[in-house]
Amino acid sequence: MLQVENLTKVYGDGTVALKDVSFEVPDGQFLAIIGLSGSGKSTLLRCINRLIDPTEGRILWKGEDITAANHEDLRNIRRRIGMVFQHFNLVHRSKVITNVLAGRLGYTSPALSVVNRFSKRDRDQALRLLQRVGLEEKANNRSEELSGGQQQRVGIARAMMQNPEMILADEPVASLDPVLAHSIMQYLEAINRDDRVTVVCSLHFLDLVHRYGQGVIALNEGRKVFEGEPSEIDDAMFKNIYGQEAERVG
């Protein structure tokens, strides 16, 4: 169970990105976060693994207080939380397999990993994961040679390399061709269903939310404006979330 309590984030320049946000995510749920650009979705996801330090509030996960964790504890928490990014965030000049193995860094002794040494077991797992996302023959290519959809699949393999208990996905399909969106979302769905990994995923398109989300929360200007099931979002609620001028397209 992930519990977010009264989370507030104010940036150094005074921008209020999150305002008193609270919600819960049961283990194994696929939670979708929706809202306009700048509504605080990215900030919220990054507060969960403390890539961004929240200003106020608490985040509890499986009984642990993430917000109070010190440096060492935080590394141990982070390695159990995979993350998938809108811009994939692969290291372009590194090989695909190295990018996937990087997901294992939290478990690897720093001295050995610095000279690029991973155990046989890790290498085998990396290849297996590449196979799972259909890219095993690209293992030794430079990741910049891959297309956007392929890069995001490598990003998912990297997150899975952590053997995560939860995956945070920040707009995983927003910079992809819409036709590729479903293929990427299906990988996340499979991970959620087959590996029983909790997924917290921010999304733009409402049809994706209806199709994949088990729960939804909606943010508007840093405030939570909706929490419930995808089917509960009717036209009135839609206008509430996206503003009066918004039109439904999907």
Q: What residues make contact with other proteins under the rule CB under 8 A? A: 11, 13, 15, 17, 38, 40, 42-43, 46, 49, 51-52, 70-72, 74-83, 85, 87-94, 98, 102-114, 119, 121-122, 155, 158, 161-162
59 alpha-carbon distance from chain centroid? 16
Q: Rounded CA gap, 225 and 22, in Å?
A: 11
Residue 232 CB, shortest distance to other proteins, in Å, is: 27
- Residue 170 · residue 161 · CB < 8 Å: no
How are beta strands 81-84 and 166-170 bridged, if at all? parallel
Residue 229 CB, shortest distance to other proteins, in Å, is: 28
51 or 60: CB nearest other proteins = 51
115 or 236: CB nearest other proteins = 115
102 or 203: CB nearest other proteins = 102
Residue 145 CB, shortest distance to other proteins, in Å, is: 14
Q: Rounded CA gap, 249 and 247, in Å?
A: 6
93 or 244: CB nearest other proteins = 93
Helix H, strand E, coil C: the string for 201-217 is EEECCHHHHHHHCCEEE
Residue 51 CB, shortest distance to other proteins, in Å, is: 6
Residue 36 CB, shortest distance to other proteins, in Å, is: 11
Residue 142 CB, shortest distance to other proteins, in Å, is: 10
What is the radius of gyration, based on Cα positions, of the chain? 18
40 or 230: CB nearest other proteins = 40
141 or 214: CB nearest other proteins = 141
Kindly list the distances between the CA atom of residue 161 and the CA atoms of 110, 125, 164, 222, in Å, as whole numbers in the listed order. 17, 7, 8, 32
Which residue, chain included where needed, has tokens 């199709």? 211
Strand stretches in 62-197, DSSP E: 64-65, 81-84, 166-170
Q: Rounded CA gap, 185 and 176, in Å?
A: 11
